[in-house]
């Protein structure tokens, strides 16, 4: 694991505006920077970066955070990957926490394999572009496929010389160990000799989501039927083919931005579509689709469109993959190309706009696709049709969402001319056999009766949440400031006339004292954690530090604090000053701001108490033995109403 010291150094040295500036075109706007959102398509800037606070906020998508969270959102790195990326960018040496000798050896071995794979990728790429044989054989092949120099560079394509041990000999000469050459599968070692696995093949490097080279796919250029057309790296400590999608590293940003992933079968399908302008495309690399691969897509989008060529037999063999996608809760559509066409050939012969229109117009919902495909086989055979219906219901049973399942059943009923009741009955039996959640089966019952459509209600504003958020905002922005707080108490000498008192106190201590006196606890889990961390800082005689939260390892805390701190930047984006709309500074009436939010919080909690006691009164029987209990509860309500009246007076309101 990366040491805390290294993480602290990264946050200390990394500049959020520099990191984001590598991915987004930023322009100076006062003390901040602004630019177009990298997460949604827009024409007016909604993306703000604060060098002073070292945070960013995208007001279009709602995302925000620090330099690390930007890399996690934009590049889809894990937290350790983002830290390592920044450490490399700012030349910070990474310290690891104390590990056992075995753990160190394993980490060193994996890193050695990564370094060797990177070395191999560069070697093959250089062969392709700079050697005579590479240009004559490998480069000629890629150019025949229509790949441009830019595409070859982007996918880092290469060529392995048609010599028994050219790569192995060169790697050993450069001091790479034969042990790692064998473990990565780049070299095959037997008792007699050692030789290159990918001899005489054009090379397709396979990257992780963060861009590290995991393995290779090699295509032969020979016409010999006895020679395997494609050879892939074997499974290793760094390469697990069931957990990798080809082209994901190059496609991830486009997939997230367009909220859609096109799934194809082969390397050249991906590259040809990408070159034609369809960038949100990945491949399962010729292997059967796996749940791990689907989960990679799910990190970026819930929407998948599977692209099939015109080969019906191949399509039927791939239907299991669609069921797996459904099982992971994703939305699936299918596009089939004309007979004799595949994504590679189709993309080469058409302009980008024509491809986009074709994909949009021919995308079929999986139910319609599977039904039309299997109906061709069933034709007028009732037994085959019954089997087809069971097959489709089996697919519907994979869907985890109850509502989505019901919609598909209705669609299936319409397409196959069979009653919904029969389909729901079959679905319930399948779910029972599969030992799904019993509630799934029970939830199918209402489908047989009419559904009453209720008028949509406007969502109720959660005032408690807003007040808790406001308290956190005040603590973060003004918690360290000392203010004269004005309050009133009854003066015994002047009867009930309130007496004005002024108490000088730190904002953070005033809020803590007020909440502590009333034993008020936060209801929102994130705000509760932030508040406890702030109180911990105060108990350690430290000042409230927003940096502590924006750099916090709990990303939910960091995101919530960044969101609060960047709230005022909306005024900068809207340019309210130029429109003569004056934004009143919060700090002008800080004492009133603090007390108002505390009083309003008390008011909401008192109203909840009154409502709760009122509900209890409804259950109390009007009998002699219950009269005392009713009177007690009514007295309590009266006391709470008096308190509420006092709070309204302090807030200068009239009930």
pLDDT digits over 160-195, tens only? 999 999 999 999 999 999 999 999 999 999 888 999
DSSP state of 287: S
pLDDT at 590 exceeding the cut of 90: no
- Mean pLDDT across 206-217: 91
21-25, 269-273, 309-313 — which is least confidently predicted? 309-313
pLDDT digits over 399-449, tens only? 988 888 999 899 888 888 889 999 999 899 888 887 644 444 455 544 444
Specify the pLDDT at position 649.
65
Nearest Cα to Cα of residue 341 among 269, 415, 409, 429: 269
Q: Is 352 helix (H, G, I), strand (E, B) or coil?
A: helix
3-state helix/strand/coil string of 460-506: CCCHHHHHHHHHHHHHHHHCCCEEEEEEEEECHHHCCCEEEEEEEEE
Query: What is the token pair recorded at 393?
Result: 């219901």
What DSSP assignment string belongs to 18-68? Answer: HHHHTTS--EEETTEEEE--SSS--SS--EEEETTTTEEEETTT--EE-HH
151-160, 324-333, 382-391, 634-643 — which is least confidently predicted? 634-643
User: Higher confidence at residue 490 or residue 49?
Assistant: 49
Say what angle helices 507-517 and 590-619 make with each other, to 10 degrees.
20
Look at the block and give the residue holding tokens 């689709």. 289
Specify the pLDDT at position 439.
47
Specify the pLDDT at position 5.
86
Determine how β-strand 303-308 pairs with β-strand 261-264.
Answer: parallel
Specify the pLDDT at position 581.
47
User: Higher confidence at residue 323 or residue 628?
Assistant: 323
- Going by pLDDT thresholds of 50, 70 and 90, the confidence category of residue 41 is confident
pLDDT at 64 exceeding the cut of 80: yes
pLDDT digits over 384-398, tens only? 888 888 888 999 998
pLDDT digits over 462-484, tens only? 888 899 999 999 988 888 888 88
77-86, 115-124, 376-385, 509-518 — which is least confidently predicted? 376-385
User: Which residues neighbour 148 within 8 Å (Cβ) at sequence distance 6 or greater?
Assistant: 275
Domains in the chain and their CATH numbers? 4-89 (3.90.580.10), 101-238 (3.90.980.10), 248-448 (3.40.1360.10), 463-602 (no CATH)
Specify the pLDDT at position 156.
97
User: Which residues neighbour 347 within 8 Å (Cβ) at sequence distance 6 or greater?
Assistant: 272, 273, 275, 276, 278, 355
pLDDT at 555 exceeding the cut of 90: no
Query: What is the token pair recorded at 297?
Result: 């897509």
What are the residues facing 336 on neighbouring strands?
A: 308
CB-CB contact of 180 with 112 (8 Å): yes
Please tell me whether the overall predicted TM-score, pTM, comes out greater than 0.85 for this model.
Answer: no
Write down the mean pLDDT value for the chain: 84
Specify the pLDDT at position 489.
65
Say what angle helices 4-13 and 79-89 make with each other, to 10 degrees.
60
Specify the pLDDT at position 491.
62
- Mean pLDDT across 507-530: 85
Look at the block and give the residue holding tokens 């209402």. 446
- Residues 476 and 484: their CA atoms lie apart, in Å, by 19
Quote the percentage of the chain above a pLDDT of 90: 36
Look at the block and give the residue holding tokens 């009854």. 490
pLDDT at 361 exceeding the cut of 60: yes
CB-CB contact of 246 with 270 (8 Å): yes
pLDDT at 115 exceeding the cut of 90: yes
Specify the pLDDT at position 350.
93
User: Higher confidence at residue 173 or residue 616?
Assistant: 173
DSSP state of 386: H
Q: Is 404 helix (H, G, I), strand (E, B) or coil?
A: helix
């Amino acid at each position: 694991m990366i040491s805390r010291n290294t993480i602290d150094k990264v946050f200390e040295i990394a500049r959020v505006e520099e990191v984001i500036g590598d991915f987004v075109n930023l322009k100076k706007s006062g003390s901040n920077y602004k630019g177009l959102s990298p997460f949604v398509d827009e024409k007016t800037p909604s993306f703000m970066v604060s060098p002073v606070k070292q945070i960013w906020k995208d007001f279009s998508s709602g995302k925000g955070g620090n330099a690390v969270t930007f890399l996690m959102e934009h590049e889809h790195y894990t937290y350790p990957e983002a830290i390592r990326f920044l450490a490399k960018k700012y030349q910070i040496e990474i310290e690891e926490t104390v590990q056992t000798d075995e753990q160190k050896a394993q980490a060193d071995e994996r890193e050695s394999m990564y370094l060797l794979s990177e070395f191999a990728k560069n070697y093959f790429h250089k062969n392709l572009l700079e050697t005579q044989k590479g240009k004559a054989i490998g480069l000629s092949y890629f150019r025949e496929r229509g790949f441009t120099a830019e595409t070859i560079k982007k996918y880092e394509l290469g060529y392995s010389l048609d010599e028994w041990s050219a790569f192995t000999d060169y790697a050993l000469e450069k001091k790479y160990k034969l042990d790692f050459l064998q473990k990565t599968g780049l070299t095959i070692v037997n008792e007699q000799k050692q030789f290159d696995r990918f001899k005489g093949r054009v090379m397709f490097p396979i990257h992780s989501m963060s861009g590290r080279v995991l393995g290779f796919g090699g295509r032969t250029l020979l016409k010999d039927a006895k020679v395997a057309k494609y050879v892939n790296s074997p499974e290793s400590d760094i390469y697990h083919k069931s957990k990798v999608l080809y082209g994901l590293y190059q496609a991830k940003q486009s997939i997230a931005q367009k909220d859609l992933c096109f799934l194809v079968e082969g390397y050249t399908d991906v590259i040809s579509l990408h070159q034609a302008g369809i960038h949100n495309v990945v491949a399962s690399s010729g292997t059967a689709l796996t749940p791990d691969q689907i989960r990679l897509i799910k990190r970026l989008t819930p929407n998948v469109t599977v692209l099939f060529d015109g080969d019906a037999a191949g399509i039927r063999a791939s239907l299991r993959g669609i069921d797996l996608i459904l099982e992971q809760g994703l939305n699936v559509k299918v596009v089939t190309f004309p007979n004799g066409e595949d994504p590679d050939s189709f993309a080469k012969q058409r302009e980008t706009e024509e491809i986009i229109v074709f994909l949009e117009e021919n995308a079929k919902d999986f139910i319609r696709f599977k039904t039309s495909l299997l109906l061709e086989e069933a034709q007028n055979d009732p037994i085959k049709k019954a089997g087809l219906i069971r097959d489709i219901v089996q697919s519907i049973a994979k869907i985890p969402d109850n509502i989505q399942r019901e919609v598909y059943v209705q669609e299936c009923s319409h397409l196959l001319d069979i009653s919904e009741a029969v389909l729901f009955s079959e679905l319930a039996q399948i779910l029972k056999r599969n030992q799904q959640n019993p509630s799934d089966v029970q939830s199918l019952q209402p489908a047989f009766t009419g559904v009453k459509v209720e008028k949509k209600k406007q969502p109720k504003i959660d005032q408690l949440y807003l007040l808790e958020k406001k308290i956190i905002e005040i603590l973060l922005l003004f918690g360290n400031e000392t203010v004269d707080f004005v309050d009133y108490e009854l003066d015994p000498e002047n009867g009930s006339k309130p007496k004005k008192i002024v108490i000088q106190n730190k904002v953070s201590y005033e809020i803590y004292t007020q909440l502590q006196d009333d034993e008020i606890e936060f209801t929102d889990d994130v705000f509760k954690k932030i508040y406890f961390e702030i109180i911990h800082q105060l108990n350690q005689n430290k000042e409230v530090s927003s940096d502590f939260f924006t750099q916090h390892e709990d990303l939910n805390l960091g995101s919530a604090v960044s969101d609060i701190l960047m709230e005022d930047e909306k005024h900068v984006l809207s340019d309210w000053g130029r429109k003569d709309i004056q934004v009143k500074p919060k700090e002008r009436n800080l004492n009133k701001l603090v007390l108002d939010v505390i009083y309003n919080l008390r008011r909401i909690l008192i109203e909840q108490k009154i409502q709760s006691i009122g509900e209890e009164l409804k259950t109390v029987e009007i009998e002699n033995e219950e009269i005392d209990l009713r009177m007690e509860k009514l007295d309590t309500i009266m006391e709470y109403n008096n308190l509420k009246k006092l709070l309204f007076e302090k807030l200068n309101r009239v009930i």
